[in-house]
């Protein structure tokens, strides 16, 4: 739907007599979310509701810019992620002549896309994409990278697997870290290795048989942010975390423009969604 169509829909459906005061937006596409919020602004309803949205990319500048100039209670939920220690220092030392262990072809392609220029001396000059040649003065210090949301998850997963493998070799293999293959560690080596890795990543299996049992644990949670109006644009303020099936919300850090904390009140029967789970997709007119 276009912004104009969404504006008309909001004007018709979300008038002053609307009892609901919270809008939940489950959109991963930032462009579509931008259109929804722009339409809400044009329909003059964006400040009348509390908004809850999801985000898959950590850089929320586009969202902050969209909300610029508005006084709105806006909460955002995104996969738990943090800055990787040493990440910025590691990549900022890379240059065209110094980027080991990244192959030249890969790094040249990255360099041209990042600085939007082509490398005349490269084996893959991207002149059709970027007509301007690189000047040779580009650096990752002057134009830094933004850490992708899932860099943290990738580093966490790799280090966890390496940790589990190291621990497994020391505990179960006769030659320890010097083992050259899993056959050195017994006939059921692969099954034990899988179990050990699973424990570190997700917690022990529910139906384990070795006596080392425990509840299934989710290693990654979801951070909850409130976007606060700043001098230039809205800024992120973390107010909660959902992890291991528990919600920790710092209510003292949650503030509303009205100055009054909102109380949620159930005004209709709340079992509809649960009932729908038992229906076939065809009955809901949804894709399978």
Task: Give pLDDT, residue 267.
Answer: 63
What is the residue-averaged pLDDT of the chain?
79
Name the band, by pLDDT with cuts 50, 70 and 90, for residue 202: low
Domain 3-80+221-283 has CATH 2.60.40: no
Distances (CA, A) of 127 to 39, 96, 105, 121: 39, 17, 15, 11
Q: What is the CA radius of gyration of the chain?
A: 25
Check pLDDT > 90 for residue 29.
no
Name the band, by pLDDT with cuts 50, 70 and 90, for residue 3: very high
Name the band, by pLDDT with cuts 50, 70 and 90, for residue 252: confident
Domain ranges of the chain: 3-80+221-283, 150-213
Read off the pLDDT of each residue in 22-33 and give the average, rounded to a whole number: 86
- pLDDT tens by residue, 62-92: 677 788 888 889 999 988 888 888 888 888 8
Check pLDDT > 50 for residue 218.
no
- Residue 94, SS3? coil
Q: What is the pTM of this model?
A: 0.62
Task: Give pLDDT, residue 79.
Answer: 83
Check pLDDT > 80 for residue 258.
no
Check pLDDT > 60 for residue 99.
yes
Check pLDDT > 90 for residue 131.
yes
Report residue 6: phi and psi, to 5°: -65, -40
Task: Note every long-range contact of 71-74, with CB atoms under 8 Å and residues 24 or more positions apart, other chains counting.
Answer: 71/47, 71/229, 71/257, 72/46, 72/47, 72/227, 72/257, 73/49, 73/226, 73/256, 73/257, 73/262, 74/50, 74/226, 74/227, 74/234
- pLDDT tens by residue, 162-193: 887 888 888 888 777 777 777 778 778 888 88
How far apart are the C-alpha atoms of 165 and 193, rounded to whole Å? 7
Cα-to-chain-centroid distance, residue 1 = 25
Check pLDDT > 80 for residue 123.
yes
- pLDDT tens by residue, 136-145: 899 998 877 7
Task: Give pLDDT, residue 280.
Answer: 46
């Amino acid at each position: 739907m276009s912004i104009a169509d969404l504006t008309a829909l909001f004007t018709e459906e979300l008038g002053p007599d609307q009892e609901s005061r919270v809008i939940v937006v489950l959109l991963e596409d930032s462009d579509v979310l931008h259109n929804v919020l722009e339409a809400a602004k044009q329909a003059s309803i964006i400040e009348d509701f509390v908004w809850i949205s999801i985000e898959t990319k950590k850089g929320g500048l586009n969202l902050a810019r969209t909300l610029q100039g508005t006084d709105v209670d806006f909460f955002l939920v995104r996969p738990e992620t943090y800055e990787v220690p040493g990440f910025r220092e590691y990549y900022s030392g890379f240059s065209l002549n110094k980027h080991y262990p990244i192959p030249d072809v890969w790094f040249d392609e990255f360099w041209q896309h990042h600085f939007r220029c082509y490398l005349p001396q490269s084996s893959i000059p991207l002149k059709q994409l970027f007509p301007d040649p690189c000047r040779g003065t580009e650096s990752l210090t002057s134009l830094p990278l933004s850490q992708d949301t899932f860099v943290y998850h990738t580093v966490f997963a790799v280090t966890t697997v390496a940790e589990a493998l190291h621990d497994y070799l020391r505990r179960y293999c006769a030659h320890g870290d010097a083992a050259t293959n899993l056959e050195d560690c017994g006939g059921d080596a692969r099954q034990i290795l899988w179990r050990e890795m699973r424990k570190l990543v997700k917690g022990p299996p529910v139906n384990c048989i070795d006596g080392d049992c425990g509840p299934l644990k989710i290693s990654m949670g979801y951070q909850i942010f409130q976007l606060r109006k700043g001098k230039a644009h809205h800024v992120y303020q973390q107010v909660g975390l959902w992890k291991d099936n528990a919600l920790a919300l710092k209510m003292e850090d949650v503030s509303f423009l009205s100055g009054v904390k909102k109380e949620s009140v159930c005004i209709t029967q709340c079992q509809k969604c649960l009932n729908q789970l038992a229906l076939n997709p065809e009955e809901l007119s949804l894709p399978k």
